[in-house]
Every structure is written in structure tokens, then in C-alpha cells.
Structure 1
Amino acid sequence: MAPPFPLSHRNRRIDLLRGVAILLVLFHHFCIAYPLNHSWLGTLLTPDGVRAIARNGNYGVTLFFVISGFLITSNALARWGSLAALNVRSFYAFRIARILPCLLLLLAVVNSLALADLPIFATHCPGLPPLAGMLRANLAALTFSMNVFIAHHGWANYALGVLWSLSVEEVFYATFPLVALLLRRQSFIMAFWALIAVIGPFYRMAHQDDESGFLFAYFASFDGIAIGCMAAVLVSKWQLQHQLARILQPVVIIGMASLYLYRSIGGTNIWGVSTMALGTAILLIASVPHAEGRIISRVRLLRGVEWTGRLSYELYLFHLIVLGLLRTFLPASTVPNTGPMRVVLLAVFFIGSCGIASLIGHFFAEPLNRILRRTLNSPPQGESTRGLKLKRRI
């Protein structure tokens, strides 16, 4: 089975898609803090246009889920040839190395700002003292149950609320090797993921009276990841899938944009999340290289968006730190709702978030990722010695 693309290649079209997703999320969160309806941007796009773009940032997270499932499965196929041959130790080592450093750094920063008496970074749980609330939020973050925490306590911690989506992803990936090794046959694995994808809209349908249920719950979001996983397997088997996706790509983009702008996600989520996930999967399939391995991404005018896509994990985790500091020192009530000030603040927010994410990625996340991969994925001493002896015999 040929993997969708070699591990050494970076697919710029996927980075572009990730960049679009993270920019939608950032714009969504900024507009909650500083509405732009009457700013210069609002005049340019009309207030309804700004609201239509800003209100559905959660669909950006749906894009992330599908991309994540696609890349995790593609990388597994590239490393081990088949899902049944997946190395459990290596799989978890790669996840820990990528996820844990930035997560621990985020908790350290948020806790420090809370202890420095910046109220927006404190955890506000009714019935719990501040320190107990902070510890409870940290526990939810480290056990990947922040979505459950939000369901019980609401948005008790502003900066850690984004971890609901990381909780969904990591619970899904905790079972990924188990599903692959227990079911083994690719058809069984695909059937399992298809079942997860079918459950999603019906779960959301059953929880329409509860935002935390239809947006943030595990089974309300697992379907996007499962669809991404299935897309990676399909494109690894049949080149025809890639050709068909390329033909459908313009129609899919128009359809996804129309759905995004049509109504709030609160009114479209039941089948809208599934539709956005399927559309994203088609775009991912269309992004894979030709048979000879050449990456088919040549979008030069959107390099900035691609760059944000490469920083999407760091941007996602840390952008609310920047926004929280802006809200602390420049409350929305002090920023005029007319004129250019809020647009300027939007630019400051984007530039500041990207700058911090870039520094964290370059000097912290990437070096620790490499170190942890080598450390956690190194074979035991006895196993290494036996492997060396075997190589010598061969």
C-alpha cells in the first residue's frame, strides 16, 4: 500500500487549508472580544458580512479534526506500511513529543498569569476557591477532559477553553493503535471509523438543547477525525480518488463557503459538521502528490496563510493569551466601536499571536519534539543489542 505522500515531504496545500482554519478561529475569538460590526472593516464588508465570517469559527476546528485524522493515518501508513503493523510505542511517543511540551508551557503561562492576579486567566468555578478551581482546570487539561469540564463548569477558564478540541483529538488517538491492532483488517478498521462518522450527526441531533453537547462532546466531534482517517486510507489505495477529488475541488470549495456563511453553526451543525468534514476530506485527497511524488502545491500569493498553517498548533494554544492580555489592558468598553481602532487592534492581535507562536515553535516546541522523539522512541538496551547482533549476522 503506497502512503499518500512520503514523510519527508511537506504538503503546502494542507498547510494552506490549516492556515485558513486557524485564521477563522482567531477571527471568531477576536470578534467575540471586540465586535467589528461598526468598525472600518464592518463598513467595508457590511455588519452582516462580518458576523457571517466571525460566528462560525468552530467550523475551522472541524477542518482541523479532518486534517489531523488524515495526517496521522497517512504518517502511520508511511512509517509502517499498514495500520495492522503500527508500532504502539512509537505512535504514542510521537503524540507525546508533539503535544505535551506546548500543553505544559500553556498551563505554566496561564497559571502564572492567574497567580499574578490577572482575573481573565483565573479559573472561576462556582463553589470552588480559586486555587482549587485552577488545579481542577489543570487536571482536565492533562487528562484530555476539558470538554467535560466545560460541560460542567462552563467557560470557567478563558485561556484554557481551547483545549476542548485537543481533548477530543487525544482521546480519539488514545484508541487509534488499539483499533488498528485489534481489528487488523483494513476493511474492519474502515467500518469502525465509518460507524463513528455515522454516529456524529445523530449525537448532535440528540443534544441540540446543549451547546457543550452538540459542539464540544467527544462523539459530536469524533466523526471529523474518522472521516480524515478514512480519506487517508482511500487515497493510499486508489489513484482514481485523487483525480476525482481534483475535478470536484471547485464545487466543494464553493459549497463549503456557502454553508459557512449561510447560518450560524447552532442552526446547521447536525449535518453541517459532517458536510464540512466530507468537503475537507475531498480537498485533502485532491492535495496529494502525483504518482511520481511531486507535491502539487504552488500557491505563491498565499504563503502567509501557509505559514500560519505550519504554526497552527502553537497559534491555537496561545492566541488567547495575547487576546486575554489585550482585554485586560484595553477592555472593549474603552475601544471605540467606530473608526479604525478595532481593526488596528485586530492586526496587533494577529501579528502578536503569530510572533509568539513562531518563537515557541522554533525555540521550544520543535527542539523538544526532536529530543522527546529520540528519547521515547529509542529501543531498550537489550533490544538494541539484539538488533545490532542480528544486523551483523545478516
Structure 2
Amino acid sequence: MSHGSSRIAALDGLRAVSILLVLISHAWLGHIVPGGLGVTIFFFISGFIITRLMISEWDTTGSMRISHFYIRRFFRLMPALTVFIFLSVLTLQLAGQGVGWKEILAVFLYTANYYGIFIGFSGDTFPPPLAITWSLAVEEHFYLIFPSLFVGLIVSWKRFVSLIVGVLVIVLCWRCWLAFGVGLEQLPHYRIYKATDTRVDSILYGTLLAVLLARKQALWERLNNMHCFVAGTAIILATLLIRSEEFRESLRYSLQGLALFLLFPYAVLSNSAISQLLSNRFFLYVGKISYSLYLYHWLAFGIVVFWMGNAALIWRILAMTLLSFVMADLSYRCVENPGLRAGRKFLKS
């Protein structure tokens, strides 16, 4: 298996699965489709792929340029996010609903998750489109710290792994304390689901896998098989079947992270039937536009709720899906790609 920077087709496919889970769940089907699992998969992929790229750069050049990392992140995320915010504000104005400057600032400063938990985005008749950026905040909080830790510890990768495992345990204990010690009824809504301090481990499981596969070849041999894939899938299904809210807000995220750790090598990194399925043209396309699709599907949801709220469910689902894909495709072609090209040009200058 290659641990370099080459693009993995099935990774885009899994990214597609994660965004489709989120989109379908939000399309009035959340009682059937686990949208939260889609976000967890998204976090895991993010941790894995960025750590993999960092390791590749380190092994090739003997260093990892942190400034370049942040410049790439800026050009990757900010152009599409800025246009999304502008169109969201414009749509809200058309719907006769204003948006406060504090909400916009919270999104730009990547604090939308805590803003949403403790203050709340305004939205009475129109679901607040900016609220969807909570997961971007979780990721950016992580990447504010992680590159420096990586540079300081990757030479002694076993210590690095020990630190990651330690944080995984601490976050799990912290969630358990909040769920069982403080009590869910005492917490603000979505306190555990959306907060960085309780969700960062979903990214770290992907990071842990990337480090171990790059530095411990024997692990690849152990994980790359159908048994691990089945075990991981079974664990995920179990986390979805157990309906206890205390379980869901404490152990679920850790078990799902462990499950993805087990199934990921066979499903994504090997030449298995699963990875071939994930590499088909539809999944590759959805995976490529997944960032814009994640942003715009919630704006599309709000538009349909506001202007088509009385339509039959099937028409609302179709309208939301079509609008989501059209806006995401335009964003990917006209904003994301030019932004990425501008970033590469900036780094070469």
C-alpha cells in the first residue's frame, strides 16, 4: 500500500457516502438515515488524509512547512465559505429574515459550533444556513494545534501515538462525565455533539491510523482483511441500534472511531470489492464536490422549507436534492477549483 500523497479514489468514494448520509438525513429522513454518522466519517477522513499528507511531506523533505499548511487550508476552505455566506445572507434577506453580524463573524472565525450551542443562530421561519458550519469549526480548532504537535513529535512517532491515544481516552472520559455526571438534561442542546472538546477524537482516530500505517507496516497486514471490515461494520451497526441517549452522547463516537479504524484499510486502501465500489464515477464525483455539497445542502433545505413547506414530501426531497447538487457543482467549478489554483500559484510565487 502506498502511504504517499497520491490520491486514493475510494477515499473520495467514502467521503461521498458521508455527505450523502448527511444530506439524506436532513431531507426529512433523519429518523431512518444516520446523518451524525456521516459527520463522524467526514472527521475521520479529514484526520487521516491530512496526517498522511504531512507524513509524506516529512518523509520526502525532512520537514513540514506549517505556514504552507495554513495557506493551503485558507485557499481550500475560505473562497467557497465566503461565497456561501454571501448567498446565505442574500437568501435570508429575500425571505424577510435578517442575520446578525455576530453570526457571520462566528462563521469566519470558526467558532460557529460554540456560538450555536451557547447563543444560537437566529432562524424562526427559515432554518439558519450558517449553523451548518459548526463542523468546520471543530476541524479548524484541531488544525490550529495539530501541525505544531506533528512537527515536534513525528520523529519519535511512538510518543506521538501515545499522546494521541491519551487524548482519545481523555475525550471519552470527559464525554462520559458530561453525560452521566452532569447529566444530558443539564446541558445545552447539542453540547456534546457539536463541541470541539467532545468531538475532536473523531478526527484523531483518522490521524492515529495514518501514523500507524506509515510507521508500523505489520499493522497493515493485520487490518487489511474482510474480518476487520465486518467487525468494524458490526460495531457501527450496534452504535446505531442502541437508542440510549446517554450511550449515544458518550461511548458512541469512540466506538464509531474504533470501527472506522478497523474497516478503513480494507474498504478504502486495498484493492477490495468495497474499494472498487467506492471508486465508481458517481461516488468520485460526489466526493469531489462534497465540501460545497455539505455547505449548500442546508441552504437548499432552508429554501425548500420556506418556499415549498406545504408541498408533498417527495417533491420537497427532490427539490432539495436537485438544488443542493446544482449549487454545489457551481461552487466546486467556479469557486473551489479557482481557489485551489490560486493557492498553488501563491505558494509558488
TM bracket, shorter-chain basis? 0.7 to 0.9
Are 2:231 and 1:251 equivalent residues in the alignment? yes
Query: What's the offset of the Cα at 1:327?
Result: 0.9
Name the structure 1 match of 2:117. 151
Are 2:22 and 1:17 equivalent residues in the alignment? no
Deviates more, 1:352-361 or 1:242-251: 242-251
Name the structure 2 match of 1:203. 174
CA 295–108 in structure 1, closer or farther in 2 if over 3 Å, else same? farther
Tell me if the contact between 1:16 and 1:305 (Cα under 8 Å) persists in the aligned partners. Answer: yes
Give, as a single letter, the amino acid of the residue that structure 2 aligns with 1:297. Answer: S
Are 2:246 and 1:275 equivalent residues in the alignment? no
Tell me if the contact between 2:278 and 2:284 (Cα under 8 Å) persists in the aligned partners. Answer: no
Give, as a single letter, the amino acid of the residue that structure 2 aligns with 1:161. Answer: A
Give, as a single letter, the amino acid of the residue that structure 2 aligns with 1:263. Answer: R
| 1:10-159 equivalence runs, <5 A | 11-31=8-28, 51=31, 53-54=32-33, 56-81=34-59, 85-119=63-97, 122-123=98-99, 134-156=100-122, 158-159=128-129
Q: Pick from 324, 330, 333 the counterpart of residue 362 of structure 1.
A: 333
Give, as a single letter, the amino acid of the residue that structure 1 aligns with 2:171. Answer: G
Name the structure 2 match of 1:7. 5
Name the structure 1 match of 2:308. 330
Which digits, 9 at most, give the CA deviation of each residue in 1:34-93, with x for residues without a partner? Answer: xx6xxxxxxxxxxxxx72x33x31221111111100000011112231897211111111
Q: Pick from 130, 135, 139 the counterpart of residue 160 of structure 1.
A: 130
Tell me if the contact between 1:199 and 1:223 (Cα under 8 Å) persists in the aligned partners. Answer: no
Name the structure 2 match of 1:45. none
| SS across alignment from 2:276 | coil
CA 266–138 in structure 1, closer or farther in 2 if over 3 Å, else same? farther
Tell me if the contact between 1:150 and 1:156 (Cα under 8 Å) persists in the aligned partners. Answer: no
Q: TM-score, with normalisation over the residues of structure 1? A: 0.78
Name the structure 1 match of 2:276. 298
Query: What's the offset of the Cα at 1:144?
Result: 0.9
Aligned residues: 334
Distance 1:139 1:60 in 2: 26
Which digits, 9 at most, give the CA deviation of each residue in 1:306-360, with x for residues without a partner? Answer: 43222211111111111111111111xx23xxxxx31242133223212221221
Distance 2:178 2:2 in 1: 36
CA 239–343 in structure 1, closer or farther in 2 if over 3 Å, else same? farther
Query: What's the offset of the Cα at 1:139?
Result: 1.1
Tell me if the contact between 1:4 and 1:235 (Cα under 8 Å) persists in the aligned partners. Answer: no
Distance 1:310 1:253 in 2: 24
Query: What's the offset of the Cα at 1:4?
Result: 4.5
Give, as a single letter, the amino acid of the residue that structure 1 aligns with 2:64. Answer: L
Q: Pick from 322, 343, 348 the counterpart of residue 351 of structure 1.
A: 322
Query: What's the offset of the Cα at 1:5?
Result: 3.5
Larger Rg: 1
Tell me if the contact between 2:10 and 2:278 (Cα under 8 Å) persists in the aligned partners. Answer: no
The RMSD of aligned alpha carbons is 2.6
Distance 1:66 1:326 in 2: 30
Which digits, 9 at most, give the CA deviation of each residue in 1:147-186, with x for residues without a partner? Answer: 1101222343510111111001001001122112333522
Name the structure 1 match of 2:269. 288
Name the structure 2 match of 1:311. 289
Structure 2 gaps, min length 5:
none
Q: Pick from 263, 268, 289 the counterpart of residue 243 of structure 2.
A: 263
Tell me if the contact between 1:28 and 1:57 (Cα under 8 Å) persists in the aligned partners. Answer: yes
Distance 2:323 2:221 in 1: 40
Distance 1:58 1:313 in 2: 16
Query: What's the offset of the Cα at 1:220?
Result: 0.7
Tell me if the contact between 1:204 and 1:213 (Cα under 8 Å) persists in the aligned partners. Answer: no
CA 295–4 in structure 1, closer or farther in 2 if over 3 Å, else same? farther
Distance 2:238 2:61 in 1: 36
Distance 1:264 1:324 in 2: 30
Distance 1:16 1:254 in 2: 20
Query: What's the offset of the Cα at 1:301?
Result: 8.9
Deviates more, 1:154-163 or 1:361-370: 154-163
Tell me if the contact between 1:289 and 1:295 (Cα under 8 Å) persists in the aligned partners. Answer: no
Q: TM-score, with normalisation over the residues of structure 2? A: 0.87
Distance 1:300 1:69 in 2: 19
Distance 1:220 1:300 in 2: 30
Q: Pick from 208, 219, 232 the counterpart of residue 241 of structure 1.
A: 219
Distance 2:24 2:249 in 1: 20
Distance 2:342 2:44 in 1: 28
